[in-house]
């Protein structure tokens, strides 16, 4: 499942190529019948909230959540738009740009009240501009008031929006924090440290297009084996202490961590 930085990159792509232009919205697959409600209108806003993309048209907003299997295809063309490939749920066409979304979990047209209701359920997003640490305080409150373990809280989109399995593993490793520590037992400075680390790492993801969570590899394009300290490294020696990286299942998702470095 794409994590928050990928959705923010998608929002930027729409802002660059579609914003302020009339967009023809169709559903080659035929399942997104509401596409006609905004087709032909100008795209006025393009925003990411966690893992959800909101495309604001003149009379309504399209919300897209890729989920586990969804993906985007962006293409430019000169004369004729390319034919859709596969089961394209929605096609956005404007000028010489086309964007196809395939297999999303959600693809729907919402009015203003419905948009507000959806967004109100999301936790703070480390990638959204926050004048005054309001989002940090929301995150602190939601973690500190919960008896749920931090490894599960970081995957809860109502606690922090945009973090997925990769960032969860890497943020906890970098914090030296046991993923099974209940939120209310974690010091506020540690919780804040996780937030600011998420802000930094996810901004790098927006800029580069890939997840880079090791300080020595924040420049260039390292291989996937070099990008992470814990994620997908089960059985391999910890980069800090040589203890084998552990893998367990927490709330139906794989959890990667070092039982030595993250014993606290």
CATH code at position 26:
3.20.190.10
124 burial level (CB within 10 Å; 0-12, 13-18, 19+): buried
* Residue 128 resides in a domain: no
Tell me: the pLDDT tens digits for 150-168? Answer: 999 999 999 999 999 999 9
Query: Which of 88, 120, 152 lies at the terminal end of a domain, its last residue?
Result: 120
Tell me: the pLDDT tens digits for 216-239? Answer: 665 556 677 788 999 999 999 999
CB 51 within 8 A of CB 164: yes
In this model, does residue 258 exceed pLDDT 80? yes
Mark whether 251 and 160 lie in a shared domain.
yes
* Residue 226 resides in a domain: yes
Number of domains into which the chain is organized: 2
Mark whether 140 and 193 lie in a shared domain.
yes
Cα separations (Å) of 58 from 44, 117, 146, 253? Answer: 7, 19, 40, 39
- Rounded to 5 degrees, φ, ψ at 150 are -65, -30
**Residue 1: pLDDT band by 50, 70, 90 thresholds?**
confident
Encoded tokens for 194: 């996780």
Rounded to whole angstroms, how far apart are CA atoms 174 and 190? 11
> Residues 49-55: what's their mean pLDDT?
97
Tokens 């046991």 — which residue?
A: 178
* Residue 52 resides in a domain: yes
Cα separations (Å) of 150 from 155, 180, 246? Answer: 9, 6, 17
Mark whether 19 and 101 lie in a shared domain.
yes
Rounded to whole angstroms, how far apart are CA atoms 26 and 88? 9
Please, what sign has the CA dihedral across residues 220, 222, 226, 229? positive
* Residue 262 resides in a domain: no
pLDDT at position 216 is 66
Query: Which of 89, 120, 151 lies at the terminal end of a domain, its last residue?
Result: 120
Candidates 135, 115, 95; CA nearest to 53 is 115
Beta-carbon contacts of 170 under 8 Å, excluding residues fewer than 6 positions away, are 201, 211, 213, 228, 229, 230, 231
Mark whether 106 and 152 lie in a shared domain.
no
Give the mean pLDDT of the chain.
94
CB 179 within 8 A of CB 172: yes
Rounded to whole angstroms, how far apart are CA atoms 215 and 229? 10
Mark whether 138 and 253 lie in a shared domain.
yes
* Residue 263 resides in a domain: no
Q: Which residues have a catalytic role annotated?
A: 2-3, 51, 253
- Helix ranges restricted to H, the chain: 4-17, 112-120, 134-144, 150-153, 165-175, 188-208, 224-227
Range of the domain at 63: 4-120
Mark whether 156 and 250 lie in a shared domain.
yes
pLDDT at position 240 is 92
CATH code at position 232:
1.10.8.50
Mark whether 53 and 144 lie in a shared domain.
no
Q: Is the pTM of this model over 0.85?
A: yes
* Residue 185 resides in a domain: yes
Beta-carbon contacts of 173 under 8 Å, excluding residues fewer than 6 positions away, are 229, 230, 257, 258, 261, 262
* Residue 127 resides in a domain: no
Mark whether 81 and 177 lie in a shared domain.
no
């Amino acid at each position: 499942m794409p994590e928050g930085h990928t959705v923010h990159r998608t929002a930027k792509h729409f802002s660059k190529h579609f914003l302020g232009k009339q967009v023809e919205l169709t559903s080659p697959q035929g399942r997104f019948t509401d596409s006609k409600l905004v087709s032909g209108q100008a795209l006025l806003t393009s925003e990411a909230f966690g893992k959800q993309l909101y495309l604001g048209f003149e009379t309504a907003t399209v919300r897209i959540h890729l989920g586990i299997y969804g993906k985007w295809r962006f293409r430019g063309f000169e004369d004729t738009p390319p034919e859709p490939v596969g089961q394209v749920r929605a096609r956005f066409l404007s000028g010489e740009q086309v964007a196809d979304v395939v297999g999303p979990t959600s693809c729907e047209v919402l009015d203003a009240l419905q948009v507000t209701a959806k967004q109100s359920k999301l936790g703070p997003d480390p990638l959204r501009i926050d004048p005054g640490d309001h989002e940090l305080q929301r995150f602190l409150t939601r973690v500190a008031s919960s008896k749920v373990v931090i490894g599960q809280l970081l995957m809860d989109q109502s606690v922090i929006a945009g973090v997925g399995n990769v960032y969860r593993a890497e943020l906890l490793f970098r914090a030296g924090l046991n993923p099974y520590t209940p939120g209310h037992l974690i010091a506020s400075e540690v919780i804040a440290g996780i937030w600011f680390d998420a802000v930094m790492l996810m901004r790098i993801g927006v800029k580069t297009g890939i997840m880079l969570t090791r300080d020595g590899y924040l420049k260039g394009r390292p291989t996937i084996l070099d990008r992470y300290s814990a994620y997908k490294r089960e059985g391999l020696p910890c980069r800090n202490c040589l203890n084998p990286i552990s893998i367990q299942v927490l709330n139906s998702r794989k959890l990667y961590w070092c039982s030595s470095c993250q014993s606290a």
